[in-house]
């Protein structure tokens, strides 16, 4: 069974099933198709399947041309899970959010697996890519697969291989980002490594699925904690009249032992604000409190309030209040040069300012209309930035520093510009750092 699958991977006759065609699944699909594999994509969202089938993309940095090209190479998308036996691999790239109690919500992973279980067949390789706590693959997926009578490692295979996508970063592609992979058994590991090595330059094997799950969490917790630290440093520096960005730039010239992290208005995206709490939750089972994670979470989630307090005091020195002021928020995606709004601190800023009575508008070249979001509602479209429009606001708040903004134009015409990203190093009368 193992040899058969290895052979199919080697001669590219393996059909690659990818389940969940979002920010992670779609680029992976493109890479397998590029190398010459037939890819069968599964998603529960009919509109995504329709878009892909019509050769359209729904992610800004993935071109429609690349979808069309993949389709020409045999890529198909479907909502029909009964087609799972056509695929040799089932790579799961579905969301792993937190519930309202900030605990892991594994429902997407478990629902996906439950929909696939009736269609599992001998020789299937299941790979979970969604970020999750150590033990998920062993404790949740393994028993579901074996409930059908398969023996993992013998006639079905299971690995965990975390995704390391960095949307919008032009320096890395799916191929060039090394990929960690841990299998339930040695045979699982061997197949997992062979599969990913076919499309990725460097595959990093680890001894277990738990080690692979923990690796991804360490990477993201490392970021969350360091961003928390630098956000705290920013508040101290501000009180002392020091520009934290000048300090970070200077410290970053140290050629060893220092990694620069940059403060901002808070954490955003589907990973860094969420993933650390997967470990916090699981650690409780072992009687461990993850204090660094909790502390970083507290500092980071207070940042929008701190930025709003800077807006309030900046308006105050101009004899204005937030209440009744026209405030333009620049950049509502969670990070620069992308259109992804998930967990964006800009949205929290807009809500807080609106709650305090501001007339809020936004400008974002990547988000022309404020999208429908589950918990946030704004009936707004992006404001075009001209000298007149910029000057018409009491305050312009730089929340996400997209490269497409004309920073000179903004500084020249804003009555008041509150900069939460350290774009303006040189002091100006109308620029306040936050
Ligand atoms: N976006 C990133 O940059 C990134 C980076 C590294 C890791 N991750 C992790 O990868 C995972 C996926 O994230 P994403 O950003 O691709 O999410 P996403 O929301 O962009 O995509 C998930 C897709 O899964 C589909 N889906 C949901 N339930 C399904 C089901 N039961 N069956 C089939 N499809 C289903 C959704 O319709 C959606 O198309 C998460 O665990 C995330 O933490 C994301």
pLDDT number for residue 369: 97
Q: Which atom of ligand 1 is nearest to the CA of 20?
A: 24
Residue closest by Cα to atom 4 of ligand 1: 165
State mean pLDDT over 325-349. Answer: 95
For the CA of 24, the nearest atom of ligand 1: 16
Residue nearest to atom 21 of ligand 1 (CA): 22
The two tokens of residue 121 are: 């067949």
d(CA 83, CA 18): 12
Paired with 413 in beta bridges are: none
pLDDT tens digits along 371-390: 998 889 999 999 999 999 99
**Tokens 């209309």, located at residue:** 369
Kindly state the tokens that stand for 359. 């007339």
Q: What percent of the chain is predicted at pLDDT more than 90? A: 96
Q: Using CA atoms, how far apart are residues 164 and 173, in angstroms rounded to an integer?
A: 10
Phi and psi angles of residue 398, each rounded to the nearest 5 degrees, phi first:
-80, 110
Nearest-atom number in ligand 1 for the CA of 112 is 31
User: Ligand 1, closest atom to CA 167?
Assistant: 3
Could you say which of 93, 181, 188, 271 is catalytic? Answer: 271
Band (pLDDT 50/70/90 cuts) for residue 61 is: confident
pLDDT of residue 3: 94
Q: Which residues line ligand 1 (CB under 6 A)?
A: 19-25, 42-45, 48, 93-96, 108, 111-112, 115, 129-131, 163, 165, 167, 270-271
> How many angstroms does the Cα of residue 146 sit away from the middle of ligand 1?
25
| 122-132 per-position pLDDT tens digit | 999 999 999 99
CA of 417 to the centre of ligand 1 (A): 36
Nearest CA to ligand 1 atom 25: 20
Residue 170: pLDDT band (50, 70, 90) is confident
DSSP string, 1-55: -HHHHHHHHHTT--EEEEE--STTHHHHHHHHHHHT-EEEEE-S-HHHHHHHHTT
Report pLDDT for 262: 96
Output the pLDDT for position 165.
84
Given this model, what pLDDT does residue 390 score?
98
Per-residue model confidence as pLDDT tens digits over 246-304: 999 999 999 999 999 999 999 998 899 999 999 999 999 999 999 999 999 999 999 99
Q: Is it the case that residue 167 has pLDDT exceeding 90?
A: no
Task: Output the furthest CA–CA distance in the chain (Å, rounded).
Answer: 76
For the four alpha carbons of 204, 273, 126 and 79, in that order, the dihedral sign comes to negative
Handedness of CA 428, 302, 96, 182 (dihedral sign): positive
- Overall average pLDDT of the 138-142 stretch: 98
Please indicate whether residue 395 is annotated as part of the active site.
Answer: no
Query: CA-to-CA distance for 41 and 306, rounded, in angstroms?
Result: 43
Classify residue 372 by its DSSP letter.
P
């Amino acid at each position: 069974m193992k040899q058969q699958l290895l052979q199919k991977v080697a001669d590219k006759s393996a059909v690659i099933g990818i389940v969940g065609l979002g920010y992670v699944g779609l680029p992976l699909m493109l890479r397998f198709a590029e190398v010459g594999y037939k890819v069968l994509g599964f998603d529960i969202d009919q509109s995504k399947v329709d878009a892909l089938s019509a050769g359209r993309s729904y992610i800004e940095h993935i071109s429609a041309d690349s979808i069309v090209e993949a389709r020409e190479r045999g890529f198909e998308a479907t909502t029909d899970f009964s087609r799972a036996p056509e695929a040799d691999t089932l790579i799961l790239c579905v969301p792993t959010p937190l519930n309202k109690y900030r605990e892991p919500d594994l429902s997407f992973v478990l629902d996906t697996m439950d929909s696939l279980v009736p269609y599992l067949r001998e020789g299937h390789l299941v790979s979970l890519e969604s970020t999750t706590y150590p033990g998920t693959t062993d404790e949740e997926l393994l028993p579901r697969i074996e409930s059908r009578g398969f023996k993992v490692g013998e006639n079905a295979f299971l690995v965990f291989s975390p995704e390391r996508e960095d949307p919008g970063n032009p320096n890395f592609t799916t191929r060039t980002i090394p990929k960690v992979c841990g299998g339930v058994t040695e045979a699982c590991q061997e197949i997992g490594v062979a599969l990913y090595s076919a499309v990725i330059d460097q595959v990093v094997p680890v001894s277990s699925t738990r080690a692979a799950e923990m690796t991804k969490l360490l990477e993201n917790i490392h970021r969350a904690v360091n961003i928390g630290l630098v956000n705290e440093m920013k508040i101290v520096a501000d009180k002392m009249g020091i520009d934290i960005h000048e300090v970070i730039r200077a410290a970053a010239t140290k050629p060893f032992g220092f990694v620069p992290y940059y403060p901002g208005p808070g954490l955003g995206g589907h990973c860094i604000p969420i993933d650390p709490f997967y470990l916090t939750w699981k650690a409780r089972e072992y009687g461990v409190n993850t204090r660094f994670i909790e502390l970083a979470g507290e500092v980071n989630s207070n940042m929008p309030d701190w930025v709003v307090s800077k807006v309030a005091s900046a308006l105050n020195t101009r004899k204005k209040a937030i209440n009744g002021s026209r405030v333009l928020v620049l950049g509502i995606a969670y990070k620069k040069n992308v259109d992804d709004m998930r967990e964006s601190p800009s949205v929290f800023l807009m809500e807080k300012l609106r709650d305090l009575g501001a007339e809020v508008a936004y400008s974002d070249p990547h988000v022309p209309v404020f999208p429908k979001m589950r918990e946030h509602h704004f009936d707004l479209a992006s404001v075009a930035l001209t000298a007149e429009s910029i000057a018409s606001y009491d305050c312009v708040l730089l929340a996400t520093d997209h490269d497409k903004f004309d920073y000179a134009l903004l500084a020249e015409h804003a009555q008041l510009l509150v900069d939460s990203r350290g774009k303006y190093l040189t002091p100006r009368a109308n620029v306040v750092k936050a």
